[in-house]
Amino acid sequence: MKKIIGLAGSTGCVVGSAVVFATKELSLNAVLVEDVEKEIEAMDAARQKYDASLAELAATAGEGQGEIFEAYQEILADDAGFFDDVKATIRNERVCSSYAIEQKRIEVESIFMSIDDEYLKQRADDINNVCHELMAEIQGISGGDPFEGVEGESLIVFAEDLTPADTVRMDRSRLAGMVTEKGGVTSHTVILAKTLGVPAVVGAGAFLADITNGQNVILDGATGIVIVDPEESELKEFMVRKEAADKKKAIYDECMVKPAYSKDGFLTRVNVNTGDNESVENFKAANCDGVGLFRTEFLYMSQSDYPSEDFQFEAYKNLAEKCKDKELIIRTLDIGGDKQLDYMNLPVEANPFLGYRAIRLCLDRTDVFKTQLKAILRASAYGNVKIMFPMIVTVDEVKEAKAILETAKAELREQGIPFNENVPVGIMIETPAAVLLSDKLAQNVDFFSVGSNDLIQYTTASDRQNELVQYIYNNCNISVLRAINMVAENAHKHGIEIGICGEVGSEPRLIPLWLAMGIDELSVAASLVGRTKFILSQFSKEELQAVKDKVLDSEQIFEVIKTLDETLEKAGIDE
Ligand code: PEP
Ligand code: MG
């Protein structure tokens, strides 16, 4: 038995048989050439041939997978930025095209790697992939289906690295999993594995020398653990776990695409939280009821300077169009606290979580705020967009933010740019001040969304990032649960909806409590939509009222946990 531990790339448990995908060795030496123009012509012909194969892959790839190959085609077509330099090297140094491409690839890779941005670093992988495949084309060793000549059905491929094109070329009906020595969790290969629903473990370090074709393998994509040649007992244990997990997943997947009605007909919308590139790319409106929290900070963090109105508009519009008539709640910039932006030159503060952050910063930097509001408003012409302000403490802040929104609207009107005049405006309830003022706040906005991650921290005075105080930072803290109940009552008394977009929204034992409180919308991680909907569908709102009363009347947290766990247990839910 051999255990390989890597990064959890794409979730899922499989058992299968190993196939070693040996990348063919490329020749990267500086071979001198006589006729440089002929060398360039041959390279351009290979570019064309590779481009045609990418176009074919883009056309035949499944839904959501074609974009990767289109992005590759763009890199391949980059004459001014990349291939002009390659051609200059061939001409000036009289060297072969593979060597010239490799020199340019190394140069570009080092630039990308020097930028402190995980996403950009992994985009360097795309350029590497294009260069390697082009060189393979030039040298006549471009890859086909790595499963050709391999027997068996459930095949787990082991490779140093895999390009998306390698993945698409595989016989996908037999591909059960992927394990790579290199690569990160946001690489396009992983994104593709997720779209294909294939478990993947990546970045596992050197292992290829120890693997041979046909070895038995257990792969757990959720934990990043791979067991090669497992013992009989490990296989048995795995099969039991897998069977239970598969059964649950099938039930959850069925629930994911349906409305989440309780047994007595109360409907809770289950939305997803998104914002980072990977989850935006993977977002599928069919698998949820909408987006309950679009964390726009990620857009700002992926740039080295303030993102322009047009840049933001494209990003918001893209998601609004994906959502169609389902809601898309865009939260305005929530920077500060644990999220910093170099180009903003934010002051160093003794207590950043109590300092210059989120709406406070936006109301001060109205130029930055208005640019964002205009971009969101413009996107509102393309879908069911709602605007949400974070970290609200007072009604004054809401009025001020809404006044800036009105000036943004006036400017767009003047420019003749369309937007939804009645775009709903909501706020996050993340501070005890907002909880205590929720009756007044409700009269000034269209909806509330509870940011429990922060609300727990501010209510219990325990830093959400400090492991020493995590015993106080508790999901089931009674003061927090009472606070959320109070906000729900005030929202409904004034005829507005309340959602929860913090992590407690998908906490299994708390879901019945949210149903009992009549929370209208829960926004959760995309992978948890099905489970959340399933739990909601197992209870009757009316019957849970007694549970709610008992929980809110508890003295100690262990009593809350006991009551809620018994409630799940009685309904036969094991989570
Ligand atoms: C929250 O505080 O619950 C929330 C959703 O916002 P964030 O986690 O981005 O602070
Ligand atoms: Mg928050």
Please write the tens of the pLDDT for every residue from 83-116. 999 999 999 999 999 999 999 999 888 887 777 7
pLDDT at 60: 65
Least confident of 18-22, 88-92, 137-141: 137-141
How many CB atoms within 10 Å of residue 43?
Answer: 23
Instruction: Name beta bridge partners: 4.
Output: 226
Q: Is the CB of 334 under 6 A from ligand 1?
A: yes
Nearest-CA neighbor of 221 among 207, 200, 206, 240?
200
Residue 13 appears among annotated catalytic residues? no
Q: Which residue has the tokens 């980072």?
A: 276
Mean pLDDT, the chain, rounded, equals 90
pTM score of the predicted model: 0.69
Distance CA 373, CA 363 (A): 12
Q: Is the CB of 454 under 6 A from ligand 1?
A: yes
- Max mean pLDDT among 102-111, 203-212, 447-456 falls in 447-456
What letter represents residue 467's amino acid?
A: E
Classify the phi-psi angles of 245: left when phi > 0, otherwise alpha if psi is within -120 to 50, otherwise beta: alpha
Mutation pick for ligand 1 pocket among 295, 353, 464 (CB with most ligand atoms within 8 Å): 295
Q: Which ligand is nearest to the CA of 339?
A: 1
Distances (CA, A) of 86 to 145, 182, 473: 30, 26, 56
pLDDT digits (tens, 9 = 90+) for 360-385: 999 999 999 999 999 999 999 999 99
Q: How confident is the model at residue 19 (pLDDT cuts 50, 70, 90)?
A: very high
> Terminal CA-to-CA distance of the chain, rounded, Å?
31
Task: Evaluate whether 73 touches 16 at the Cβ level (below 8 Å).
Answer: no
Mean pLDDT of 466-495: 94
Angle of the 395-415 helix axis to the 366-379 helix axis, nearest 10: 60
Q: What residues contact residue 416 under an 8 Å CB cut-off, 6+ apart?
A: none
pLDDT at 276: 76
- Between these two residues, 125 and 364, which has the higher pLDDT value? 364
Q: Is the CB of 451 under 6 A from ligand 1?
A: yes
CA-nearest residue, atom 4 of ligand 1:
451
Residue 501 appears among annotated catalytic residues? yes
